[in-house]
Chain A
Amino acid sequence: MEDADIVALYWQRDQGAITASDEKYGTLCHSLSFNILQTHEDAEECVNDTWHRAWDTMPPQKPNSLRAYFCRIVRNLSIDRWRSRYSQKRGEGMGSLVLELEECVPAVPSAEEQWETEEISAAVERWLRQQKAEDRRLFVSRYFYGAAVRDLAAGLGGSPNGAAQRLRRLRQSLRRALEQEGVTL
């Protein structure tokens, strides 16, 4: 089914939207979430929550790229869950305090924060455009989609160590690029 048709189903409040989303993007979303969380149960739950979130947000949203839309949602949910788990693991330490205080952080980021995030993102985007297509794919696959190094290596036809080395080089290169652009984190 075409993405536009799936979006239309969401707008029509047709439950088939979720089935179609899961059929088309379930594996990708699960894989992305699993790469972050490393447990299938948690990943499955994040994917479920992704469809839930999509149901809640379409309408009014009408994403151009449904794949990117779902991937962003599932990635955010997975990172949140990872943080929560990490914080629980840390017990009553700093992690818990941070988590508690996160309740006080407005759900909508401040205009300044939003602007900064977009600036960082734009700088990363510019840097990505300067990289070779293969390196670009390697970096985004790893740091957006969370793919495992050994899987990426297999996809590229090289060794895991080779892929890890390339990633290290790319990280260093990004760091330099961000420094040169005066982007502070």
Chain B
Amino acid sequence: MILLSRVADCLYWMSRYIERAENVARIVDVNLQLLLDSEDLNDSGMASHWMPIVKSTGDEALFARLYDKPDSGSVTDFLTFNRENPGSILSCILAARENARQVRDKISTEVWEEVNRLYHFVRAQNIKRIWASGPYEFYKQIKQSSHLLQGLSDATVVRDEGWEFIQVGRYLERADQTTRILDVKYHILLPSPRDVGGARDTLQWMAVLRSCSAFEAYHHIYGADVQPWNVADFLIFSETFPRSISFCLRQLSESLRRISGERHRYFSNEAERLAGKLQADLNYTSTEEIFRRGLHEQLLELQDCLADVGMELFEAYMFFPVVDPSKEDEEQGEK
């Protein structure tokens, strides 16, 4: 079976955007809940709670342009409904559906209809009222829809090259999002140094775990004690937890090799080489080393490498000139 480059690109981005929407929903949801445990926060308290979230999604400047100050209302709106923010949940879902629409003949009816349902859900007239009456329920719906889509594609999509591109998009995005969720904690300033290891610090690390659905899994392995290095160790290195960076990189490399038909430990393009190298580097790195060199710096480096993999993937399989036919199309006639 042949796979058009454009189709590969659409499958990859559909999958990435859905995964991104899910992760943004996770981050916002957990931080809204974390606020419930905080004392009453003044403006600067609100800012130090929410700004790290904005930073971790990468668009501080845009936020500053669109809103007066960071608080629960502005940050959740920015990350959930703002169409000007390409990383908002709404923007991600619109983009995912636009990509899915172009490949609806390549995905199963079930997958298409769920993407379409999710689209109509977030585009409903009363969606902000639905959100206001229960943000938790709203974000749960987004996450569940993403999970449903994964289940549906596992259960109904043919395991051909196109399916591998769906996997590549998902795991590349998920690895990237896990680095960002971990990095949130770096930005959160504790009120004073003596709070390190205190109740608030622990609560924040627990929030990080919850953002990754890793709370139960962590406790299963490390017991009740939530320690920063254990959390980092788990979310970066776990071989078995499906949202850890290591796990995602392994899936990514395997899918890339299934696409090219390349043997294990070999590579046939830059995307494969970089993904494999990243995986090997991580395998020979310890948690101690990461903390010694700085968690934040290490996470940024990982994000850069993942972005390179994405670019090389585009070069290897999808590159073709981009045109915008929207204007012309209105003239061209079918009847």
> Do A and B interact with each other, yes or no?
no
